[in-house]
Amino acid sequence: MREDQSFEITRAYDLLPHVVGASWASIWFRMNRKSRPTKEEFREKVAEYFKMLAPLTNAFPEEENFKEIIAYVKEKHEDEIRRILTGNNPEIELRYKRYVDYG
């Protein structure tokens, strides 16, 4: 796949985990008055909310000319979940630190 075909999807997945996942997770912890979740709890909650975006992986039509981008989107989505859960998304780790420091 050419870079110009995946660029926008890649940029979206740079933002979606922390803009949606971490933001919603932070609100959930605040509303439940849990100011010091463990990193694992925070990551799990981020992943839970991020997984709710899974319908976006089916946004393109099931047509031959979309097959490659559909596969890329699905793999990117799963990869981001793995990165969140393993602590390999630096933005999520930063959001966790900010939440426990300033919650």
User: How is residue 20 annotated by DSSP?
Assistant: I
User: How is residue 62 annotated by DSSP?
Assistant: S
Per-residue pLDDT of the chain (103 residues; tens, 9 = 90+): 677 789 999 999 999 999 999 999 999 999 999 999 999 999 999 999 999 999 999 999 999 999 999 999 999 999 999 999 999 999 999 999 999 998 6
* Alpha helices (H) along 1-102: 3-16, 23-31, 39-51, 67-86, 90-102
- Dihedral sign from CA coordinates of 56, 59, 62, 63: negative
pTM value is: 0.92
